[in-house]
Amino acid sequence: MPFISNKGFAMPESPIRKLVPYAESALSAGTEVIHLNIGQPDIETPEVALNAIQNFNQKVIEYSHSAGFDSYRKGLAKYYRTHNIDVDHNDIIVTNGGSEAILFGMMTCFNPEDEVIVPEPFYANYNAFALEAGVILRPVTTYLKDSYALPPIEDFRELINDRTRGIMICNPGNPTGYLYNAEELDTLRKIVLANDLFLIADEVYREFCYDDKEHISVLSLEGLENHAIVVDSVSKRYSMCGARVGALISKNTEVMATALKFAQARLSPPTLGQVAGEAALNTSQQYFDDVKEEYLKRRDILVDGLNSIDGVTCPKPGGAFYAMAELPVDSAENFCQWILDSYSYKGSTVMMAPAAGFYASPDLGVREVRLAYVLETEKLEKAIEVLRHALEEYPKTLEAQKSFFTA
């Protein structure tokens, strides 16, 4: 039998999806599963985008330009300029979701074995993209007790060596929901310029910032014209995760010319996704105001509810729609499996993402979980009650198991 590749064996499982079989078993047994494990909003996609797909009247669904439709890229450039990001359509390549933008960015800017510093915890699939590109991620740790704020500049300096080629951030953050402030971004700017690095920023949650905080793009930072690269996506902004349309944006012409070669190799981004994405640019500001207000309400219900449970600690996120929580358990992964496999409260259980998979450093995040507040408030309130009773019951279950095996 032929051998599977070493890279295939090394590819990590998704901590967001690895417990799916247990959730499917719970569902087949008649248990309601409240999905807080994945960032799939229940917010309706803007009607203008749905109408564009429904009214698509071309006789052939053709390839687009490898960089994306010209009209869409010009529309995106106009959108970015309203967010203090001064780019034109030639600074944009449309991609198959934000995921492909990350991969293109890594393959364009880094050689195999080059190192990229990334604050952890970070979006788990960065590990997979780095493995595909042959890049080594070097984590700089942020902590729940600090609400996952940017570490001191000395922590970055300690990691920089001859192989360091870049820094990567997610702002607002997935999985933490942390929003970098102007001072923190200026710290990163200084590190990047002093060491001639790339700064890749995943900014897909730009629209969702709370408590009167504002998002600052790395493309608006002084002096980073040749250093800053932004990853974007329509998935969360317009609740269009299945459209699979993202973008890679940079004012560095060499970066964009090189990335275009990777884009040409995969031919083109999805035509219908771009049709929806271009139409979505006409979404009213009221849509975003309403969605932001809804997420703020959901955030407060989830975070306040979690913090009301004995032994649970959950910092209040400043953006996105994720929260990280520390649970009073020895292993969050075991608890997340148990609550799906062996527990329900009033016919319901909860699916969460164990947080250890969002860290690169071993033995970190073992008691933490990531939760996505992407469901209606009634389901979030129900999830809190399920967790409250589950965390009361779980130690009894462990004690019973211990007694059984030592009897």
Q: Using N-to-C axis directions, what is the helix angle for 332-341 and 20-28, rounded to 10°?
A: 20
Identify the pLDDT of residue 11: 85
Q: Which of 207, 206, 189 is nearest to 198 (CA)?
A: 189
Helices (H) and strands (E) in the chain, counts: 13, 12
How confident is residue 402, by pLDDT bands cut at 50, 70 and 90? low
3-state secondary structure 98-126: HHHHHHHHHHHHCCCCCEEEEEECCCCHH
Contact in structure between 31 and 344 (CB atoms under 8 Å) = yes
The separation between the first and the last C-alpha atoms of the chain, rounded to the nearest angstrom, is: 45
On average, the pLDDT of the chain sits at: 94
C-alpha 206/C-alpha 208 separation (Å) is 6
Higher-scoring residue by pLDDT: 58, 398: 58
Of 400 and 209, the one with more pLDDT:
209
**Could you tell me which of 394, 393, 397, 371 has the C-alpha nearest to residue 384?**
371
Q: What is the pLDDT of residue 404?
A: 41
Domains of the chain: 6-44+286-406 (3.90.1150.10), 47-280 (3.40.640.10)
Beta carbons within 8 Å of 268's beta carbon, 6+ residues apart = 63, 64, 65, 66, 68
Query: Which pair of structure tokens corresponds to residue 143?
Result: 């902590």
Local confidence band at 398 (pLDDT 50, 70, 90 cut-offs): low
- Note the pLDDT of residue 3: 82
3-state DSSP assignment of residue 326: strand
Given this model, what pLDDT does residue 337 score? 95
Q: Percent of the chain scored above 90 by pLDDT? A: 91
Instruction: Tell me which H or E stretch contains 315.
Output: none
Q: Is the dihedral of CA 264, 270, 271, 277 positive or negative?
A: negative
Spatial contact of 356 and 332, defined as CB atoms under 8 Å apart: yes
Q: Which of 234, 245, 314, 295 is nearest to 274 (CA)?
A: 245
Region 346-367 average pLDDT: 95
pTM, to two decimals? 0.93
List pLDDT tens digits, range 236-251.
999 999 999 999 999 9
Nearest of 7, 26, 40 to residue 340 by alpha carbon:
26
Distances (CA, A) of 316 to 169, 201, 322: 19, 22, 10
Distance (Å, whole) CA 336 – CA 20: 11
Three-state secondary structure of 133-191 = HCCEEEEEECCHHHCCCCCCHHHHHHHCCCCEEEEEEECCCCCCCCCCCHHHHHHHHHH
State yes or no: pLDDT of 72 exceeds 80.
yes
**Per-residue model confidence as pLDDT tens digits over 288-316:** 999 999 999 999 999 999 999 999 999 99
pLDDT for the residue numbered 287 = 96
pLDDT digits (tens, 9 = 90+) for 124-163: 999 999 999 999 999 999 999 999 999 999 999 999 999 9
Is the per-residue pLDDT at 9 higher than 90? no
Angle at 117 between CA 111 and CA 122, to 5 degrees: 115
Q: Which residue from 139, 136, 157 is spatially nearest to 148, judged by alpha carbons?
A: 139
pLDDT tens per residue, range 85-105: 999 999 999 999 999 999 999
Q: What is the pLDDT of residues 260-288, one digit of tens each?
A: 999 999 999 999 999 999 999 999 999 99
Cβ count within 10 A of residue 346? 9
CA angle 325, 183, 87 (to 5 degrees): 100
- The answer to whether residue 12 scores a pLDDT higher than 90 is no
User: How many CB atoms are located within 10 Å of the residue 212 CB?
Assistant: 5
pLDDT band at 17 (very low <50, low <70, confident <90, very high): confident
The token duo for 114 is 């080059």
